[in-house]
Structure 1
Amino acid sequence: MRQVLLIDLADEAEAIARYEAWHKPGAVPEPVVASIRAAGISDMEIHRTGNRLVMIMETDSSFDSRRKAAADAADPDVRAWESLMDQFQRPLPWASAESKWTSASRLFSLQEQP
């Protein structure tokens, strides 16, 4: 299943550069990558335009966002990573209080067009 999520970054060139550096291959701590994979996320990409980020996740049938959130809250490595990312990330104004990233709704699919 594909999931698309959005969040903003602090609109500061230095903060954006630091955020990007933290996401280069090998820069994300291995326990964080392992927790993503263990949750049933088979692929994840983050794209940026300006200070807006879009995350695209491909999940398998074992993925449960509530179970992932509970596992993250209990994992000191993930909590440290999220604390670090909090320095850069800015939830969208309409984001729920429980989630930093906001789900996007699909409006169009070429495959569904005649």
Structure 2
Amino acid sequence: MTGSATQVLLLDLKDEPAAIAAYDGWHAAGAVPAAVVASIRAAGIRDMRIFRAGARLVMLLDTDAGFDPAAKAASDSADPEIQAWERMMDGFQQPIPGGDPTAKWTAATRIFGLSEQP
């Protein structure tokens, strides 16, 4: 995808089976509020996928070249519907060990690319 980038972000859920099941349910097809989905798309995020292994989440973001995380954060902070979603999700989430305790998602560092190998 020309002019795009992929970002990988990590987050842990609270390791409680009922909470994990509820979190999965909130992310099922059609369950995420329309305002949240619209905000993601409007920010220049082409695709977003979240994978879970146990309580660990991995988010893959494919963004347009003009994607600006600071602008997305500012827009989200001014939107009451997004803030309500974030407050609800905060009850399920926690930073990964060794991550920034003031950040929700921790950016992963890419250390390998098959296309760079001989």
Range of TM-score over shorter length: over 0.9
Root-mean-square deviation (Å) = 1.0
Name the residue aligned to 1:2. Answer: 6
The structure 2 residue matched to 1:102, chosen from 93, 99, 106, is 106
- Aligned residue pair count: 114
Gaps of 5+ in 2: none
Name the residue aligned to 2:41. Answer: 37
Name the residue aligned to 2:74. Answer: 70
Distance in 1, Cα, partners of 2:44 & 2:102: 21
Name the residue aligned to 2:116. Answer: 112
1:3/1:19 Cα in 2 relative to 1: closer, same or farther (>3 Å)? same
> SS state of the match for residue 110, structure 2?
coil
Q: Is the contact between residue 11 and residue 106 of structure 2 (CA under 8 Å) also seen in structure 1?
A: yes
Q: TM-score, normalised by structure 2?
A: 0.93
Distance in 1, Cα, partners of 2:83 & 2:63: 22
Name the residue aligned to 2:30. Answer: 26
Q: Percent identity?
A: 59
Q: TM-score, normalised by structure 1?
A: 0.96
Structure 1 stretch 61-70 or stretch 97-106: which is displaced more? 97-106
**Post-superposition, which runs of at least 4 consecutive aligned residues in structure 1 deviate over 4 A?**
none
Distance in 2, Cα, partners of 1:94 & 1:65: 22
